[in-house]
Structures are given as C-alpha cells and as structure tokens.
Amino acid sequence: MNLDELRSVQSKERQKDSLQNLRPSFYQEVGEYIADLEDERDRVAEQADDPFSSPEVGRLTDEIETAKDVVEAIYERRMGKLVKQASLAAAGMPANDEGLTAEEVDLFDDLVERISSNKSRVLDVLEGVDIGSPASTASDSSTSAAGDGSPDTSDPARSDSSAADHAVPEDPGDDAPPVATQDSPAASTDDESPRVANADGDESGVTPADVMGADGPTAHDEATSQPSAETEAERDSDGSMTPNEDESSPVERVTVKITRDIGQILGVDEREYSLSTDDIVTLPEQNATPLLEQEAAESLE
C-alpha cells in the first residue's frame, strides 16, 4: 500500500457510478500503511537536530495527512453508492454488493435490515395495526412482575401516594367545624369583587359591582326582573321575534369615554357592557355616575 495506489483508487471511484471492487482488508491495509509512516517519522524526528525544520519529517507529515484525506474521500464516495445498493436490496431488487470491504459488508447488511424493518413498520401503520405507542409501553412497565396487573409498589413514593388516594377519611363528628365550600357562605368574603388594575399596574378602585350599583342585582331582583314568556317578545307581521321595550320607564343615558379597564358589567337596563380603556359608550346614568365620580370615565356630553 502506498499513496499512489490510494490516489488511483480515488480516481477510479470518482469515474464510476457503481462500486469498484476492493479487497476486504483495504481499510485495514491503509491503517497499517499510515501507522508505518508515523513510526518512520518518529524515528527521523529523533535523529534530527531540529525535527520541526527537518525536510524528511515535513515530507512524511505531508504524506500522512494526504493519505488520510484521500482514504476519507474514497470512503465518503463509496458510502453514497453503498446506501443506494442497500435500498435496492431492501426493496427486493437486484443490488451490487460485490467487492465490498469487511467494514462495508457489515454496514450493508445492517442498512438492508434497518430499511426492511422500517418499511414493515410503516406498512403496519397504514394497515391500522397497533404496534404499540410510547404511552402503552410506559403503562406496561408500571405493572408488577407477577403479571397480575397490579401497580408496582417497589417505589415507596408511589406506595405512599396510592395509600393516600385510597385512605377513607375519618368522620369528623358533630363537633367538627363546618368546612367552607364554594357554595357555602363560609367561603365568601366581605369583598368578593376583584379590583381592576389600570394601565400603570395600580388598582383603579372601580369594580363591576360598583358600576352596577350597591352589591349588584340580587337573586330575587333577577328572578322578578325576568319578563314572562308571553311578554318577553312579540311577533312581527313576518313572524320574526322582536323584544319589547318598556316605554313607561325610559332610562336616562350618558355618553362617556372609559379611562380605565373595568370589565363586564350588567347595566340597570339589563344589558351587558364590556368596558375597556378608551372605549366610548352610552351607559345608563345610574351606571355612568360611579365611573365619573371615581375618574374611571370622562363625560362626552
């Protein structure tokens, strides 16, 4: 093996679309050739007064680097052809796998096996065959080694958590204080209305309840304010439904510009208003007054 042979192999590999026949021990021989050059360079360097300026050391170094570059180029060129042949073989088509080195034979066989296996998996997915998902695999790994489907209790943290989940709460007895729930009065506070922050991050002090008046409509007010099914709407001549308006008690309205984010409110006219900064809206006077007093709105009239 020498540098001229390596260059000849490289030139031939570039000119052919197919793989040229190489000895099974080709790469092994190249490795031995480079190792011999390195040993020779070490011997020359030991005998030279200045190894860094020795012409022979420089020549051997250049030959070593050139040999490595050439054999790497040969390998990369052959890999493209080898992958193509492996794809053909995996598809059941004739493939040229003659003249491969020992390392290339191992790679060729591995590629054919992997491509065939991957193709089978894809076809199974297309046929709707359940090949197992990561989630199911993780679930199977959590079962016990006995195979009875019981949870794995080898993890103390898991055991403690499972025991806590299945623990029966003790009866607190009649003397235990009542537990506040979401629907019970104990869970409520004196001030349930959220404060709305303005653009500077400060609380505006205005809540939807303030704008709707007092503590907002009560359940009794809502129940009594709902119109009956007979009076809620009337049919036009064309059969469409139109809401009634109570003309006996007109609502005084004020046009304002909102200067702070308020959110959703229910007006005294039983309409919902979404009040955001810079909105211009006409509100019932009873709803607009708190906004004007607390400088959350500016009158435009």
How do residues 256-266 score in pLDDT, each as one tens digit? 899 988 888 88
Q: What is the pLDDT along the chain (301 residues), one digit of tens a residue?
A: 899 999 999 999 999 888 999 999 999 999 999 999 999 999 999 998 888 889 999 999 999 999 999 999 999 999 999 999 999 999 888 888 788 999 999 999 999 999 999 989 998 888 887 665 444 444 454 444 444 444 444 444 444 444 444 444 454 444 444 444 444 444 344 444 444 444 444 444 566 666 555 444 443 444 344 444 333 434 443 444 444 444 445 788 989 899 988 888 888 888 888 888 888 889 898 898 998 888 888 888 7
With a CB cutoff of 8 Å and minimum separation 6, the contacts of 143 are: 149, 150, 151, 152
Reading the block at residue 236, the tokens are 């036009």
DSSP code at position 47: H
Question: What residues contact residue 116 under an 8 Å CB cut-off, 6+ apart?
Answer: 90
Tokens coding 209: 């309840």
Give pTM, 2 decimals: 0.42
In degrees rounded to 5, what are phi and psi of residue 53? -105, 5
Confidence (pLDDT) at 62: 95
For the chain, give the longest Cα–Cα distance. Answer: 120
Res 43: pLDDT: 93
Amino acid letter at 222?
E
CA 20 to CA 11: how far, in whole Å? 11
pLDDT in tens, 182-206: 444 443 444 444 444 444 444 445 6
Is it true that domain 3-126 has CATH number 1.20.58.1030? yes
Provide the percentage of residues in the chain whose pLDDT is more than 70: 60
Domain boundaries in the chain? 3-126, 196-220+251-301
φ, ψ for residue 52, nearest 5 deg: -70, -25
129 to 133, 137, 139, 154: CA distances (angstroms): 11, 16, 19, 33
pLDDT of residue 237: 38
Tokens for 238, please give them.
């064309």
Closest alpha carbon to 256 in 273, 243, 272, 231? 273
What is the structure's pLDDT at 36?
Answer: 95
For domain 196-220+251-301, which architecture applies?
3-Layer(aba) Sandwich (3.40)
